[in-house]
Amino acid sequence: MERRANLLTELQSIAGAENVRPGDDEFAVDGVAPQAVVRPATVEAAAAVVRHANANRLAVIPIGGKQRGGPGNVPARYDIGLDVTALSEIIEYEPGDLTITCGAGITLGELRKATAAAGQMVPFDPEIAGEASVGGVLAADLWGPSRVSLGGPRDFTIGLRVITGDGLTTRAGGRVVKNVAGYDLCKLYVGSLGTLAVITEATFKVQPVPKATRELAFTAASAADACGIAGESLMRGLSLQSAVVTRADERWRLDITLAGSEAAVERSAREFASLSGDREQETGDKIGHVEGGLIGVRVAAPPSELPALLEGLPGDAHFLAYPTLGVVRLRLKDEGELPPLVAMGAVVEDAPPDVKRRIDVFGPEPLSSATGGLMRSIKAQLDPNGVLSPGRFVGRL
């Protein structure tokens, strides 16, 4: 207990007394609560906190919108919750440049509001609440159905400011849409689950908001039928923003979202209707997530193999599939359903702490020796003392 008292005092002297408090369940990650939570007012203070942690081998986990149960293994250690939500301003937004720079603590909701005012958007559409922070979404590499048309975070993140495990405040990428100067370390940081660096600032490419959107759906004869029509819509160049295949009561269903100009959406809707032939039309409903269950799992396969994979799922499985991306996301009622999916290379996207403690969310052997060796070397280089989110990543990095 003495140690904890010291830690609070130390952090208070670094980041200001008003920005430090004892850790509690609100900041728990997979059921593990930190000793202390610090909410630095500046990037410099955040870096000082990381340097202090690095010097004292204290484990730091960056915290944004506190979305629980997401990706990653149970942390091996967790001493300091580094709350980045004070770093939440729009730093630079010039709509004509089609770029925006913001603090990592800004919520998706605030970011959407800022860009919507200019008729633009950063094309995030993960299945997560608007309270999620941009930094958290990037660290977890969360994306949604529009990835097929608009890309994922790796595609539209063009610059990051981060703090490495030993406390260097550094930049990767830049603020221009096209840039090949130096290594693109943004690619490393996006999806690294806070194990390589703390993201404090991000620059994105933005896009014009489509002038029109429409949701359409129909009942399909089989998974192959539903996936086939989605693929054909894509090949025909219809204004497909996303496509989702689901099954309910033995009935397969394809939901698509069209987006573009009025005329393009109108034409796409007509063509989609003719593609679907005499299949039963449904009320289109932009399905963004799959409800219920205890454990969220993702399986990826080449799109051509997806129908067989879907047909092979148990009749009562809760899932949604992105047919043109080759990804299916399932909700499982209990742990017992995991083994066959794990055998297919499934990654657990979210689960309660007690389940996570018994498994490796990335699968039993997530890294081949050669690839794993490179990843371990990179981790050792950027976080030499292993203080950033230890144990959370692939291979327990």
One residue of 188, 224, 275, 294 binding other proteins per CB under 8 A: 188
**Which position among 86, 91, 264, 294 is part of the footprint of other proteins (CB under 8 A)?**
264
- Does position 263 bind other proteins by CB under 8 A? yes
Smallest separation (angstroms) from other proteins to the CB of 256: 15
Asked if residue 257 binds other proteins (CB under 8 A), the reply is no
Q: The tokens of 385 are what?
A: 């003392």
In angstroms, give the least distance from the CB of 304 to other proteins.
4
Provide, rounded to whole angstroms, the least separation between the CB of residue 308 and other proteins: 13
- Could you write out the three-class secondary structure of the chain? CHHHHHHHHHHHHHHCHHHEEECCHHHCECCECCCEEECCCCHHHHHHHHHHHHHCCCCEEEECCCCCCCCCCCCCCCCEEEECCCCCCEEEEEHHHCEEEEECCCEHHHHHHHHHCCCEECCCCCCCCCCCEHHHHHHCCCCCCCHHHHCCHHHHEEEEEEEECCCCEEEEECCCCCCCCCCCCHHHHCCCCCCCEEEEEEEEECEECCCEEEEEEEEECCHHHHHHHHHHHHHCCCCEEEEEEEEECCEEEEEEEEEECHHHHHHHHHHHHHHHCCCCEEECCCCCCCCCCCEEEEEECCHHHHHHHHHCCCCCCEEEEECCCCEEEEEECCHHHHHHHHHCCCEEEECCHHHHHHCCCCCCCCCCHHHHHHHHHHHHHHCCCCCECCCCCHHHC
**Pairing of β 318-322 and β 251-260:** unpaired
Cβ proximity to other proteins: between 107 and 203 the closer is 203
Nearest approach in angstroms of CB 375 to other proteins is: 5
Total of chain residues touching other proteins, rule CB under 8 A: 81
Q: Which of the residues 110 through 129 are near other proteins (CB under 8 A)?
A: 119
Q: Which is nearer to other proteins, 84 or 158 (CB)?
A: 158
In the complex, least distance from residue 203 CB atom to other proteins, rounded to whole angstroms: 11
Window 289 to 328, contacts with other proteins (CB under 8 A): 298, 300-304, 325-327
Q: Could you say whether residue 190 binds other proteins (CB under 8 A)? A: yes
Residues between 341 and 360 that touch other proteins (CB under 8 A): 347
Q: Is 286 in the site for other proteins (CB under 8 A)?
A: no
Q: x-or-dash pattern for other proteins, window 19-58, by CB under 8 A? A: ----------------------------------------
Q: What is the CA radius of gyration of the chain?
A: 22
Phi and psi angles of residue 219, each rounded to the nearest 5 degrees, phi first: -85, 135
Stretch that binds other proteins, among 27-35, 122-130, 262-270, 333-341 (CB under 8 A): 262-270
Please list every residue from 154 through 173 that binds other proteins, using CB under 8 A: 154-155, 164, 168-172
For residues 72-111, which are near other proteins according to CB under 8 A? 94-99
Does position 330 interact with other proteins (CB under 8 A)? The reply is no
Burial of 184 (0-12, 13-18, 19+ CB in 10 A): middle
Contact 167, 142 (CB under 8 A): no
180 near other proteins, judged by CB under 8 A: yes
Please, what is the minimum distance in Å from the beta carbon of residue 280 to other proteins? Answer: 26
Q: Considering the complex, state which of residue 6 and residue 170 has its C-beta at the smaller distance from other proteins.
A: 170
Burial class (CB in 10 A: 0-12, 13-18, 19+), 258: buried
CB-nearer residue toward other proteins: 352 or 363: 363
For residue 80, the minimal CB distance to other proteins (Å) is: 22
Please list every residue from 357 through 386 that binds other proteins, using CB under 8 A: 362-363, 366-368, 370-372, 374-375, 377-378, 380-382
275 binds other proteins (CB under 8 A): no
* Of positions 55, 89, 183, 273, contacts other proteins by CB under 8 A: 183
Stretch that binds other proteins, among 59-67, 129-137, 208-216, 332-340 (CB under 8 A): 208-216
